[in-house]
């Protein structure tokens, strides 16, 4: 069967390609992020759930990110490698890579489902669910039903970048939008109408994820540039060694959030118990609920930043494979400027309009302690958004260039060394405020490293371009 080529990635203007690929990717990631955020908005505005439901959502959220991290490692890694292969004209290897990504995502989804069901109590305790009895009860209910949808969630998210690498960013976006649409429809019906509480929120999410997964299955039977065969679905150690390392940065960018949230949730539980207000049982869940909300806004912004960079992976990979380093350099410069702009807009929003943000999450139903802590959290925790977005763009661009080791090392320093380390150390000196300081300190120190990497990468691309010309 003859398939179309992706040579337009080498010919069309860079700005046009960025819009063509990055916008659908941004929307796809935003919608994926909104699954949990929409749940939290409806939960927060259901008076019978309130801040307890918010806290439960915060506990479970990083556990869904574990699944997402594995899915994007498979999907983004395959996307980057497939794009490079298509640029080199190696279509058979590209098809086999996609087949391997499909099998891996299915197996990983089943494995996570089993592990979560077996170790649910220990996992929830690890992520701070025991802050009080009601938070634990709601966390357990929400986690069980969210876990049932994990295999569909992982498959849909892994296939999204694979579909983009085949030259169909709009379909990738549409499949995610369709799932989110069903989630938004079912959330109010099940939470407010049926009053199924946390179970209803989880089942609404599951329904949307099934829709996205089914659309991905349909697309795999109607690919454009990649011709899948039965032999494509045979696992190959050689191929997995090639494409999985290219997804490590995407994995770390997500899994680090899990590590940070585990550290943060436990620091909140520990130092909240020492606070004169939050040590009281009726207010104990507030810091966890608030920080969870702040992290959700951060996730929205980072989804845009990651979406812009990840959307460029097929463009970068194809042009590097085709020997067009000049276009890769042009793309990098445009990407960094756009990332900084996104961070600047986000910074203005969190510093000027924090009251409007917390109002979305049911602040009107909560105490003044909730509002005061939320205002402080938004303004401190997210004050280095400009640097955070530039850092993310740099990590993923290096991944697209095939520099898996450099991208992985910098990501590990930011996410694990700085992110988790400062979340544990700073509260020792500043109490609950130390949790809030951990994010901006980490982003500032990481940018010092990223700036040197950006300069070296631009020099390298310039040198390659001069040799190729």
Tokens of residue 51, six digits:
């801040």
**Distance from C-alpha of 362 to C-alpha of 23, rounded to nearest angstrom:** 30
Question: In this structure, what token pair is assigned to residue 417?
Answer: 């060394």
Buried b (16+ CB within 10 A) or exposed e, 341-369: ebbeebbebbeeebeebbeebbbeebeeb
For residue 70, name the pLDDT band (cuts at 50, 70, 90): very high
2 is a domain residue: no
pLDDT of residue 355: 86
Whether residue 451 is predicted with pLDDT greater than 50 in this model: the reply is yes
Q: Give which of 28, 136, 61, 63 is closest to 293, Cα–Cα.
A: 61
Range of weakest confidence among 7-21, 83-97, 167-181, 327-341: 7-21
* % the chain with pLDDT above 90: 43
pLDDT surpasses 80 at 404: no
Q: Is residue 403 domain-resident?
A: yes
Looking at the 3D structure of the chain, how many domains does it have?
1
List, for residues 294-349, the tens digit of each pLDDT value: 888 888 898 899 888 888 888 887 888 777 888 888 899 999 999 999 999 999 99
The answer to the question of residue 5 being in a domain is no
pLDDT bin (cut points 50, 70, 90) of residue 362 is low
> Which of 131-135, 233-237, 256-260, 278-282 has the highest mean predicted lDDT (pLDDT)?
233-237
> Taking 80 as the threshold, does the pLDDT of residue 32 lie above it?
no
pLDDT greater than 80 at residue 443: yes
How far is Cα 67 from Cα 225, in angstroms, rounded to an integer?
28
3-state helix, strand and coil shares in percent for the chain, rounded to the nearest 5:
85, 0, 15
Mean pLDDT for the chain overall? 87
Mean pLDDT of 133-146: 93
Tell me how far apart the alpha carbons of residues 277 and 191 are, in angstroms, rounded to a whole number. 30
Non-local CB neighbours of 107 within 8 Å, separated by 6+ positions: none
User: What's the mean pLDDT in 90-106?
Assistant: 94
Among 94, 96, 100, CA closest to 82 = 94
Q: From residue 255, how far is each of 301, 304, 417, 466 by CA, in Å? A: 17, 18, 13, 38
Is the pLDDT at 363 greater than 70? The verdict is no
- Whether 435 is in a domain gets the answer yes
> Does the residue 44 lie in any domain?
yes
Q: Can you give the pLDDT at residue 6?
A: 64
Q: How confident is the model at residue 1 (pLDDT cuts 50, 70, 90)?
A: very low
Q: Is residue 441 part of a domain?
A: yes
With respect to residue 177, please indicate whether it lies within any of the assigned structural domains: yes
User: Which pLDDT band, with edges at 50, 70 and 90, does 36 fall under?
Assistant: low
Cα 378 from chain centroid (whole Å): 20
pLDDT category, 154, cuts 50, 70, 90? Answer: very high
Task: Give mean pLDDT, residues 385-409.
Answer: 86
Does 135 map to a domain?
yes
226's CB contacts (< 8 A; 6+ apart) are 3, 82, 86, 91, 94, 95, 98, 165, 166
pLDDT tier at 11, thresholds 50, 70, 90: confident
Averaged over 53-68, what is the pLDDT?
87
Compute the distance between CA of residue 141 and CA of residue 35 in angstroms, rounded to an integer: 17
Name the residue with tokens 């499909």: 102
- Choose between 427 and 415: higher pLDDT: 427
More confident residue, 16 or 402: 16
pLDDT of residue 348: 95
Distance CA 250, CA 71 (A): 9
126: tokens are 């690890």
Position 35 pLDDT exceeds 50: yes
Stretch 426-450: mean pLDDT = 93
* Lowest-confidence segment of 4-8, 44-48, 100-104, 150-154 by average pLDDT: 4-8
Mean pLDDT of 345-374: 83
pLDDT for residue 29 is more than 80:
no
Mean pLDDT of 250-255: 76
| pLDDT tens per residue across span 207-242 | 999 999 999 999 999 998 888 999 999 999 999 999
The tokens for 17 are 């390609």
Q: What residue numbers bound the domain in which 367 lies? A: 12-468
Write the CB contacts of 28 (distance below 8 Å, at least 6 apart in sequence). Answer: 160, 172, 173, 175, 176, 177, 307
Among 120-124, 130-134, 385-389, where is mean pLDDT lowest?
A: 130-134
């Amino acid at each position: 069967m003859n398939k179309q080529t992706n040579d337009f990635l080498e010919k069309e203007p860079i700005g046009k390609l960025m819009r063509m690929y990055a916008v659908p990717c941004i929307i796809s990631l935003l919608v994926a992020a909104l699954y949990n955020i929409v749940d939290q908005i409806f939960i927060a505005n259901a008076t019978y759930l309130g801040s307890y439901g918010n806290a439960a959502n915060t506990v479970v959220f990083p556990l869904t990110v574990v699944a997402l991290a594995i899915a994007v490692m498979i999907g983004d890694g395959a996307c980057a490698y497939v794009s490079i292969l298509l640029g080199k004209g190696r279509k058979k290897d590209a098809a086999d890579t996609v087949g391997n990504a499909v099998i891996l995502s299915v197996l990983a989804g089943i494995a996570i489902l089993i592990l979560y069901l077996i170790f649910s109590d220990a996992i929830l305790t690890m992520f701070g669910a025991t802050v009080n009895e009601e938070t634990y009860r709601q966390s357990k209910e929400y986690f069980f039903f969210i876990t049932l949808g994990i295999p569909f969630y992982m498959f849909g998210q892994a296939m999204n970048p694979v579909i983009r690498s085949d030259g169909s960013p709009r379909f990738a976006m549409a499949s995610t939008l369709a799932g989110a649409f069903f989630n938004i429809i079912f959330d109010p019906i099940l939470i407010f109408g049926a009053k199924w509480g946390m179970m209803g929120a989880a089942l609404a999410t599951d329904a949307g994820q099934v829709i996205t997964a089914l659309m991905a299955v349909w697309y795999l039977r109607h690919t454009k540039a990649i011709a899948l065969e039965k032999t494509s679905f045979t696992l190959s150690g050689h191929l997995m060694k090639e494409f999985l390392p290219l997804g490590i940065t995407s994995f770390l960018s997500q899994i680090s959030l899990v590590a940070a949230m585990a550290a943060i949730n436990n620091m909140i539980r520990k130092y909240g118990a020492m606070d004169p207000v939050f040590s009281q049982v009726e207010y104990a869940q507030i810091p966890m609920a608030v920080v969870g909300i702040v992290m959700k806004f951060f996730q929205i912004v980072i989804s845009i930043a990651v979406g812009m960079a990840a959307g460029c992976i097929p463009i970068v990979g194809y042009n590097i494979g085709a020997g067009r380093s000049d276009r890769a350099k042009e793309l990098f410069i445009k990407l960094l400027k756009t990332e900084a702009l996104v961070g600047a807009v986000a910074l203005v929003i969190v510093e000027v309009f924090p009251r409007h943000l917390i109002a979305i999450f049911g602040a009107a139903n909560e105490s003044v302690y909730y509002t005061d802590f939320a205002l402080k959290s938004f303004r401190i925790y997210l004050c280095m958004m400009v640097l955070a977005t530039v850092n993310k763009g740099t990590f993923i661009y290096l991944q697209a260039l095939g520099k898996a080791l450099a991208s992985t090392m910098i990501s590990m320093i930011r996410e694990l060394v700085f992110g988790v380390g400062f979340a544990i150390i700073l509260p020792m000196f500043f109490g609950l405020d130390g949790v809030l300081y951990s994010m901006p300190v980490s982003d500032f120190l990481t940018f010092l490293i990223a700036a040197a990497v950006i300069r070296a990468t631009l020099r390298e691309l310039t040198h390659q371009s001069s040799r190729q010309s």
